[in-house]
Amino acid sequence: MLRGGIIGAGFFSGNHLNAWAMVEGAEIVALCDTDPKRLSKMGDAFGIEARYSDAAEMLDSENLDFVDIITTAPTHRPLVELAISKDVHVICQKPFAETLEDARAMVRAVEMAGKTLMVHENFRWQSPVRTVIDAVRSGTIGTPFFCRAAFRSGYDVFSGQPYLAEGKRFIIEDLGIHVLDIVRALMGDVTRVAAHTNRINPEINGEDVATILLSHESGVASVVDCSYATRRVPETFPETLLEIDGDAGSLYLKSGYRMEVHVDGKVETRDVSPPVLSWAERPWHNIQESVAIIQKHFVESLAKGVAPETSGKDNLQTLTLVEAAYRSAAEKRTIETSEL
Ligand code: NAD
Ligand code: 89V
């Protein structure tokens, strides 16, 4: 049984803790947060007695196999480097880093230490999205030539995560990063990025609308469009809607988790709704299920001795798209990913 320690007992950590209870082969034995109230609230809720305000102390006192870092991006590099120096494997929440330089340094440190680092990039593991990824990879619509991934919502994310309103960057760094990663999982790596951003909500600092055009190495074109300023009925938070054209058909993930496959002049419609796990609540159940799936993937990857799909190294490609999109919007030009 792998022994895990959690660093960060804030807004999202309850989902990790609930999900870890479902994952065979690992258990969470210790919890760390610099905020004593959050530490005791989460420790009490999940019956974890080993509690620390200092991550180094937790790593020195507990015999851990891995840490699961659920803090915000500015703390990721020091915490990942600390964990690696204590010889444990690491899961790190997205966004992996605030800069590509920090991300590359973490990947180098992990490779030199021979440890495993998985970025908790869970949207590609949402079961409806995964069904589409599997269908495309198995050739259901032939060879793809176009992909659109859209996340448009007016959901109030700021009440649960007030830091999202404060940063100079918002939607691309927090949410677009997930959608860009889904598109990478579907269409592969990217050579060129052109982006346009807007800020509609005057009460936040960053951009809340982003429209991004991607050229993939394969020749496929993708559009990633994200908005937290869209008022529509039904509200689709937190669904990513997909539209993919291939030379043998088209595939859609529509609102309400309806997948449509259009092949040979016929339409096959499937309900690919994610389950509402016993501890989950709508509309977050889609994200919550994916937390359990990616954690299971981490444990299985360690057991097999293979890199997780969203390893730190893999995630450098997703972060490059984030940086390229910001640079493109700021400089009003198309960015070659090789520039970064
Ligand atoms: P939060 O601010 O609510 O919680 C972070 C916690 O970390 C806080 O309690 C803080 O006191 C603690 N912390 C900070 N530095 C620490 C340190 N050095 N040692 C110990 N504890 C420390 O943030 P959140 O909303 O829970 O988000 C955490 C991360 O999860 C963010 O990067 C966010 O983007 C990500 N997130 C991911 C998803 C997803 O679906 N993948 C969803 C929501 C949030
Ligand atoms: O999934 C996330 O990273 C969240 C949210 C869905 C609100 O963007 O921050």
The 10s digit of each residue's pLDDT in 154-184 is: 999 999 999 999 999 999 999 999 999 999 9
Instruction: Give the separation between CA 74 and CA 95, rounded to whole angstroms.
Output: 9
Assigned token pair, 52: 């620390």
Confidence at residue 114, expressed as pLDDT on a 0 to 100 scale? 97
* Domain 2-115, CATH homologous superfamily name and number: NAD(P)-binding Rossmann-like Domain (3.40.50.720)
DSSP per-residue codes, 189-228? -EEEEEEEEE---TTSSS--EEEEEEEETTS-EEEEEEES
Tell how far the Cα of 70 is from the centroid of ligand 2, in angstroms: 13
Tell how far the Cα of 267 is from the centroid of ligand 2, in angstroms: 32
Mean pLDDT of the chain: 98
Predicted confidence (pLDDT) per residue in 127-153, tens digit: 999 999 999 999 999 999 999 999 999
Candidate from 13, 39, 52, 70 with most ligand 1 atoms within 8 A of CB, to mutate: 70
Pocket of ligand 1 (CB under 6 A): 7-13, 32-35, 38, 55, 70-73, 75, 79, 93-94, 120, 122, 161, 163, 174, 287
Confidence at residue 79, expressed as pLDDT on a 0 to 100 scale? 98
Confidence at residue 112, expressed as pLDDT on a 0 to 100 scale? 97
Report the Cα 262 to chain-centroid distance in Å.
29
Would residue 269 be called left, alpha or beta, if left means φ above 0 and alpha means ψ between -120 and 50 degrees?
beta
Predicted confidence (pLDDT) per residue in 293-304, tens digit: 999 999 999 999
Q: What is the ipTM, given to two decimal places?
A: 0.99
Roughly how many angstroms between the first and final C-alpha of the chain, as a whole number? 40
CATH label, 124-272+317-339, candidates 3.30.70.3270, 3.40.50.970, 3.30.360.10, 1.10.645.10: 3.30.360.10
The DSSP output letter for 119 is E
CATH 3.40.50.720 intervals, the chain: 2-115
Rounded mean pLDDT of 243-253? 98
Instruction: Give the separation between CA 14 and CA 279, rounded to whole angstroms.
Output: 10
87-91 LR contacts (CB < 8 Å, sep 24+): 87/113, 87/115, 88/59, 88/64, 88/115, 89/65, 89/115, 89/116, 89/117, 89/302, 90/66, 90/115, 90/116, 90/117, 90/118, 91/66, 91/67, 91/117, 91/118, 91/119, 91/120, 91/295, 91/298
Rounded mean pLDDT of 243-270? 98
Nearest to 55 by CA among 39, 29, 31: 31
Confidence at residue 210, expressed as pLDDT on a 0 to 100 scale? 98
Rounded mean pLDDT of 111-125? 98
Ligand closest to the CA atom of residue 291: 1
Predicted confidence (pLDDT) per residue in 185-211, tens digit: 999 999 999 999 999 999 999 999 999
Confidence at residue 3, expressed as pLDDT on a 0 to 100 scale? 98
CATH 3.30.360.10 intervals, the chain: 124-272+317-339
**For ligand 2, is residue 174 a contact (CB within 6 Å)?**
yes
User: What is the percent of the chain where pLDDT is above 90?
Assistant: 100
Confidence at residue 192, expressed as pLDDT on a 0 to 100 scale? 98
Ligand closest to the CA atom of residue 73: 1
Confidence at residue 209, expressed as pLDDT on a 0 to 100 scale? 98
Confidence bin at 272 (pLDDT 50/70/90): very high
Instruction: Give the separation between CA 284 and CA 293, rounded to whole angstroms.
Output: 15
Q: Tokens 């994310």, residue?
A: 157
Instruction: Give the separation between CA 295 and CA 204, rounded to whole angstroms.
Output: 32
Assigned token pair, 199: 């800020």
Q: At residue 120, what is the residue type?
A: H
Confidence bin at 312 (pLDDT 50/70/90): very high
Predicted confidence (pLDDT) per residue in 38-72, tens digit: 999 999 999 999 999 999 999 999 999 999 999 99
Rounded mean pLDDT of 246-250? 98
Ligand closest to the CA atom of residue 10: 1
Tell how far the Cα of 175 is from the centroid of ligand 2, in angstroms: 6
